[in-house]
């Protein structure tokens, strides 16, 4: 068997998420069907991150095994051909060691969340960013983001659907950058709780709106109460940016 690593980009707007489900088309299912067409082999494509419905990816990674030893370019171009017209693209293919696993071999995951802060509604970016009409205090948001860094119990920042046995996670970096009306929240960690980045982002927006102080982030973390944190930001502003191995 040959093990292949895929670097994938996709627009998650009309998908039920990464993972194969019964209620609609998923990224995983679309890739498996494309590879079946290409290789005539039924495979399981395993991803590094299980993005939710509506979440996008700039650098998702997955792997699959087939018995055939195919040329790298033929795999990339062949899968892309079979995926059309779906908004999924294979950016790169590598043949990797048998013990490589897209999820379990990953050391870091980097997510980005895009906010547009302006009065006019969104047009081109309406499915790719969260619009906030009220003027946000970007400096306070940047100050608040630093409180997320480090090892904490993030129980206040996970959804009720989270199945993780522990809510303790280590955030390596939580940074905020802005350019004109765009605000990007970037979070790096080995792993995340369900909806963690989206709830963190919703809480940072509350800071920018003046509803809570930057230093309140520390208290919210310590209280471990989901009701004390902010809203869950919409899925369409979230991007899986990169997986580090």
Q: Which residue has the tokens 């939580």?
A: 174
**Is 212 a domain residue?**
yes
CATH of the domain at 134: 3.30.70.660
Pairing of strands 88-96, 2-10: antiparallel
**202 shares a domain with 112:** yes
Backbone phi and psi for residue 230, each to the nearest 5 degrees, phi listed first: -80, -175
**238 shares a domain with 164:** yes
DSSP code of 235?
Answer: G
Question: Using CA atoms, how far apart are residues 233 and 196, in angstroms rounded to an integer?
Answer: 10
**116 shares a domain with 92:** no
Look up the domain containing 92 and give its range.
2-96
**88 shares a domain with 6:** yes
Structure tokens at 187: 């979070």
**Is 158 a domain residue?**
yes
Question: Using CA atoms, how far apart are residues 164 and 53, in angstroms rounded to an integer?
Answer: 19
Q: Which of 62, 65, 76 is nearest to 27 (CA)?
A: 62
pTM of the model: 0.96
Q: Residue 209, exposed/middle/buried by CB under 10 A (0-12, 13-18, 19+)? A: middle
Task: Please report, rounded to a whole number, the percentage of residues in the chain having pLDDT higher than 70.
Answer: 100
Q: Which of 80, 73, 72, 2 is nearest to 35 (CA)?
A: 80
Which residues are CB-neighbours of 176 under 8 A, at least 6 positions away? 138, 141, 142, 145, 183, 184, 185, 186, 204
Question: Using CA atoms, how far apart are residues 217 and 140, in angstroms rounded to an integer?
Answer: 11
* 153 part of the active site: no
Tens of pLDDT along 184-219?
999 999 999 999 999 999 999 999 999 999 999 999
**225 shares a domain with 201:** yes
**116 shares a domain with 62:** no
Tens of pLDDT along 68-86?
888 999 999 999 999 999 9
Average model confidence (pLDDT) for the chain?
Answer: 97
**Is 6 a domain residue?**
yes
Annotated catalytic residue: which of 52, 73, 77, 153?
Answer: 52
Sign of the CA dihedral running 208, 211, 213, 219: negative
Residue 30 above 90 pLDDT? yes
4 neighbors 75 (Cβ within 8 angstroms) = yes
Structure tokens at 177: 């950058």
Q: pLDDT at position 69, please?
A: 86
User: What is the arithmetic mean of pLDDT over 109-131?
Assistant: 98
Compute how many other C-beta atoms are within 10 angstroms of the C-beta atom of residue 26. 21
Classified as helix, coil or strand, 189 is: strand
């Amino acid at each position: 068997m040959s093990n292949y690593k895929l670097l994938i980009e996709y627009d998650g707007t009309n998908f039920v998420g990464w993972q194969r489900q019964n209620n609609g088309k998923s990224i995983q299912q679309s890739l498996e069907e494309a590879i079946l067409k290409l290789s005539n082999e039924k495979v399981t494509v395993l991803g590094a991150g299980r993005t939710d419905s509506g979440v996008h990816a700039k650098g998702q990674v997955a792997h699959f095994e087939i018995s055939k030893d195919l040329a790298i370019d033929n795999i990339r171009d062949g899968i892309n051909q079979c995926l059309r017209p779906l908004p999924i693209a294979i950016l790169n293919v590598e043949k990797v060691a048998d013990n490589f696993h897209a999820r379990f071999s990953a050391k870091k995951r980097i997510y980005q969340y895009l906010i547009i802060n302006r009065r006019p509604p969104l047009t081109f970016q309406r499915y790719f960013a969260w619009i906030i009409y009220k003027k946000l205090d970007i400096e306070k948001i940047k100050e608040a983001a630093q409180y997320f860094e480090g090892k904490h119990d993030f129980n206040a920042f996970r959804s009720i659907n989270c199945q993780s046995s522990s809510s303790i996670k280590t955030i390596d970096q939580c940074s905020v950058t802005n350019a004109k009306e765009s605000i990007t929240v970037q979070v790096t960690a080995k792993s995340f709780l369900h909806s963690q980045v989206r709830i963190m982002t919703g809480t940072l927006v509350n800071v920018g709106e003046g509803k809570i102080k930057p230093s309140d982030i520390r208290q919210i973390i310590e209280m471990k109460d989901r009701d004390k944190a902010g809203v869950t930001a919409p899925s369409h502003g979230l991007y899986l940016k990169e997986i580090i191995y």
